[in-house]
Structure 1
Amino acid sequence: MIELAGLTKRYGEKVAVNDLTFTVRPGIVTGFLGPNGAGKSTTMRMMLGLDRPTAGDVRIDGKHYDRLKDPLKYIGALLDAKAMHGGRSAYNHLLCLAQSNGIPRSRVAEVLDTVGLTGVARKKAKGFSLGMGQRLGIAGALLGDPRILMFDEPVNGLDPEGIHWIRTLMKSLAAQGRTVFVSSHLMSEMALTADHLVVIGQGRLLADTSMAEFIEQNSRSYVRVRSPQRERLLDVLHEAGVTVVESGSGALEVDGGKAEHIGELAAQHQIVLHELSPQQASLEEAFMGLTAESVEYHAHSDPPAELRSAWGGDWERG
């Protein structure tokens, strides 16, 4: 378990993390989301004792990180896949970590096999691709067989097979009762992986809830209905007190209603339906809706007017 209480980090006048309080619990995958500059990396660094909080407290299984003996046996983390000595082989990189934390040498071969790097175990890490570096970083996180695992952008550089593998691995670790905390910008992947979400913006906590509740609370849900007897269906729905929005595509959008109830109403009045489908926003849409006010860096499709003027017509031609 990871517990944060009033965690705050200031850099001069800049408040990077502002009074964060939440708990990362075992047995589920907890996703950590926020726009660029929200304070996610700073928060994760403070969890691992790499940055000292200005105020507040963070504990790993009830202890401060610097009080953990052999910390890799408590918490394994991947924050930066490039944080390794490029001149060492994959095997020797992990062996150094193992020896510094009282972990048996035999464990090195086990985690190399788990992440699929046995065939390149004796090759120097500086020759690894980004995806191979990610796998080696994950091997380091797993090395101490810890109860808590923390991953920052774990799918960077991985091919589709590798993405499926790390998704399955995280779910498997959580199913074993471990605490799994993962940060990612890939919303589609997070939607398939996380059970619970912690969302921050400009250093502040915006949400701490289940995946299903987060999407429900931060998006519009409705039922889309199509019928060749559209006007009659409209009358029936209005008489039943159902709120209906007419979309430009000819479909009807029913807010606050259940598909089953609408289907039963149509059946009672012998109305033919060509479509009856519940609609809900994706995680990405819900996330964008919640964090719109917290985005620090905004991109624009067109360059500023002064640059367009300086470039002439070249900007349009690419």
Structure 2
Amino acid sequence: MIEASGLTKRYGRTLAVDDLSFTVRPGRVTGFLGPNGAGKSTTMRLALGLDHPTSGAIHINGRPYRQLSHPLRAVGALLDPRWVHPNRSARAHLHWLAVAGGIPTSRIDEVLDLVGLSAVAGKRAGGYSLGMSQRLGIAAALLGDPEVLLFDEPANGLDPEGIHWIRTLLKNLAADGRTVFVSSHLLSEMANTADDLIVIGRGRLISQTTTAEFIERATKATVLVRTPQAERLRAVLTQQGCGVADQPDGALLVTGATGEQIGEAAAAHQVVLHELSPQRGSLEEAFMQLTGDAVEYAAQPAGAEDSDLLAAGR
């Protein structure tokens, strides 16, 4: 378990983390989301004792990281996949980590096989692609078979097969009862992977809830309707105060009514329905809705002159 209480970190005049409190529970994948500059990486560094909080605390299994008896066996972390001596092989890198952490060296081959690097374990890490470096970083995080895992952008640089692999790995680790804390900008992946979400902006907590509750709370419920009598149904639903929007394929997207209510209204007016599908909002929509005021670096829409310059390649 990871617990933050009143966690605050200042760098000079910059307030990177501001009175942040949250709990990451075992047995679930917890996504850690926020715009650029929100304080996610700083929070993870504080959790791992790489920075000292200005005030407040963050504990792993009830203790600060620096007080853990066997930290590499208690906590596995991936913050920077390039943090490997470029002239060391993957096997040599994992070997010195195992020796330093009191981990049996037999574990090296196990994690190399798990992340798919066995065939290139003897090659220089400096020649690895970003995706291969990510896999090596994940191998290092898993080396001590820890109960708590922290990953910062673990899918960065991975191809589609690799993304599917890391998604499955994270879910399996949580299913084993481990605490899995994952920071990512890939919202579609977090929607498919995370059971819970912790969302921050400008260093402050915006939301801590399940992924489903986060999406439901921040997006409008809609129902996709297909009918050969679209105009008639539109008139009925509009009269009842519903919002009705045309879709490119001829369907109607209805807001302000449940599927049951739409079905009953259609039956009462003898409208034939071919489809009645409640639509779940996306994590991206919910994220944009709740973090819009916390974006530090927001691009402005290009005006006519800007568009001309971009088109001219200037």
Q: Bin the TM-score by the shorter chain.
A: over 0.9
The 1:304–1:17 alpha-carbon spacing in structure 2 relative to 1, beyond 3 Å, is farther
Gaps of 5+ in 1: none
The 1:81–1:226 alpha-carbon spacing in structure 2 relative to 1, beyond 3 Å, is same
1:302-317 matches, within 5 Å, as 302=302, 315-317=310-312
TM-score normalised by structure 1 residue count: 0.91
Tell whether the 8 Å contact from 2:91 to 2:122 is kept in structure 1 after alignment.
yes
Write the deviation string for residues 196-251 of structure 1: whole angstroms up to 9, x where unpaired.
Answer: 00000000000000001000111111223344444653565478xx5311325576
Give the letter for the 1:56 counterpart.
G
- Kindly state the Cα deviation for residue 160 of structure 1 after the two structures are TM-superposed: 1.1
The 1:127–1:231 alpha-carbon spacing in structure 2 relative to 1, beyond 3 Å, is closer
Q: Secondary structure at the match of 1:243?
A: coil
Partner Cα distance (1:198, 1:53) in 2: 19
Give the letter for the 1:246 counterpart.
V
- Kindly state the Cα deviation for residue 86 of structure 1 after the two structures are TM-superposed: 1.2
1:254-273 matches, within 5 Å, as 254-273=254-273
Q: What RMSD in Å do the two structures reach over aligned CA positions?
A: 2.2
- Kindly state the Cα deviation for residue 255 of structure 1 after the two structures are TM-superposed: 3.0
Query: Which range moved further: 295-304 or 149-158?
Result: 295-304
User: 1:19 — aligned with what?
Assistant: 19
User: 2:60 — aligned with what?
Assistant: 60
The 1:270–1:117 alpha-carbon spacing in structure 2 relative to 1, beyond 3 Å, is same
The 1:2–1:9 alpha-carbon spacing in structure 2 relative to 1, beyond 3 Å, is same
Gaps of 5+ in 2: none
Partner Cα distance (1:253, 1:123) in 2: 55
Tell whether the 8 Å contact from 1:244 to 1:252 is kept in structure 2 after alignment.
no
1:133-212 matches, within 5 Å, as 133-212=133-212
Partner Cα distance (1:110, 1:36) in 2: 35
User: 2:244 — aligned with what?
Assistant: 246
Give the letter for the 2:79 counterpart.
L
Tell whether the 8 Å contact from 1:16 to 1:38 is kept in structure 2 after alignment.
yes
Aligned pairs, number: 311
User: 2:79 — aligned with what?
Assistant: 79
The 1:261–1:313 alpha-carbon spacing in structure 2 relative to 1, beyond 3 Å, is closer
Partner Cα distance (1:315, 1:252) in 2: 37
Q: Secondary structure at the match of 1:172?
A: helix
Partner Cα distance (1:178, 1:256) in 2: 41
Partner Cα distance (1:302, 1:262) in 2: 41
The 1:206–1:233 alpha-carbon spacing in structure 2 relative to 1, beyond 3 Å, is same
User: 1:118 — aligned with what?
Assistant: 118
Write the deviation string for residues 68-123 of structure 1: whole angstroms up to 9, x where unpaired.
Answer: 12201111000000111111111110111111111001011111111111111111
Q: Secondary structure at the match of 1:18?
A: strand
Tell whether the 8 Å contact from 2:243 to 2:256 is kept in structure 1 after alignment.
no
Partner Cα distance (2:259, 2:303) in 1: 45
Write the deviation string for residues 15-43 of structure 1: whole angstroms up to 9, x where unpaired.
Answer: 10000000000011000000000000000
Give the letter for the 2:278 counterpart.
P
The 1:248–1:261 alpha-carbon spacing in structure 2 relative to 1, beyond 3 Å, is closer
Give the letter for the 1:195 counterpart.
D
Tell whether the 8 Å contact from 2:47 to 2:65 is kept in structure 1 after alignment.
yes
Partner Cα distance (1:122, 1:45) in 2: 30
User: 2:46 — aligned with what?
Assistant: 46
Give the letter for the 1:190 counterpart.
M
Partner Cα distance (1:115, 1:253) in 2: 43
Q: Percent identity?
A: 62
Tell whether the 8 Å contact from 2:222 to 2:253 is kept in structure 1 after alignment.
yes
Partner Cα distance (1:12, 1:117) in 2: 42
Q: Secondary structure at the match of 2:242?
A: strand
Write the deviation string for residues 140-182 of structure 1: whole angstroms up to 9, x where unpaired.
Answer: 0000000011100001111111111111000000001100000
User: 2:104 — aligned with what?
Assistant: 104
